[in-house]
Structure 1
């Protein structure tokens, strides 16, 4: 399934840094070290997300050095809020290539984390499907 629109806001960017994804029980609360790190990151902003539901707390952030197990593909954005089918169109070729994803959305765009060891497969599947990367070289994991 090709991208829903051929538009610069749908170009992809493979971010250089690695990421961590943590799941905590809902009654655990957000660790003080995580909150402190978030406050300290104001001078050096990076991707950081805390999502709490009735079942769990999920935390995603930039790993220190190359310790992260995930890489991130960012859809350029900003996208109009009413644009539909983007995440479905993006994840379908990844599903077909057997690449697991952890998706996060913001108002402006979507970020999709993939396991480090699956980067080349993910990039190849997306490019074959018609997605365009802004800057890419296949030497990732």
Structure 2
């Protein structure tokens, strides 16, 4: 198993579902923290700071984010599995998002501290931003 250094990002995030043909809203891009945009033929999915999301937006709020210290070459395997497997065994659901350089795990706010305990027990190093 690959042992990793993880950083707990300080803010709360929201997953937002927008029309697939819509424009990326200005509020999604506010701030300098983690943002993820994915467009498919079914939706425009935005993960951004919860504080920026309008009340009337279709959103799942109350997510926290853990960043994996990178970078990783694209040939490196097992990064996500070394995190997701112990969390799944502890019945903690996560959403994984990969970037060019590293991976991010998002989990509901109430699962953050239990997830940190599980990941620490699995041998990963946890740092708080």
Q: Distance in 2 between matches of 1:125 and 1:45?
A: 29
Q: Distance in 1 between matches of 2:23 and 2:84?
A: 29
Q: Residue 37 of structure 1: CA displacement?
A: 2.9
Q: Distance in 1 between matches of 2:43 and 2:91?
A: 26
Residue 11 and residue 120 in structure 1: after superposition, are their counterparts in 2 closer, same or farther (change >3 A)?
A: same
For the pair 1:62 / 2:56, whether they are aligned, the reply is: no
Within-5 A mapping of 1:1-141: 2=1, 4=2, 6=3, 10-27=4-21, 29-30=22-23, 34=25, 36-38=26-28, 41=30, 44-64=31-51, 68-135=61-128
Q: Distance in 1 between matches of 2:127 and 2:62?
A: 23
Report what 1:139 is aligned to: none
Secondary structure, counterpart of 2:74 in structure 1: coil
Q: How many pairs were matched up? A: 122
The CA RMSD measured in Å over matched residues stands at 2.3
1:31-57 C-alpha deviation (Å, 9 max, x unpaired): 5xx2x2356x4xx42211110122332
Q: Distance in 2 between matches of 1:135 and 1:19?
A: 16
1:83-138 C-alpha deviation (Å, 9 max, x unpaired): 111011111111111111111111110111000011111011111111111348xx
TM-score (normalised: structure 2):
0.82
Asked if the contact 2:64–2:108 (Cα under 8 Å) also holds between the matched residues in 1, the reply is yes
Q: Residue 25 of structure 1: CA displacement?
A: 4.6
TM-score (normalised: structure 1):
0.75
More strand by share: 2
More helix by share: 1
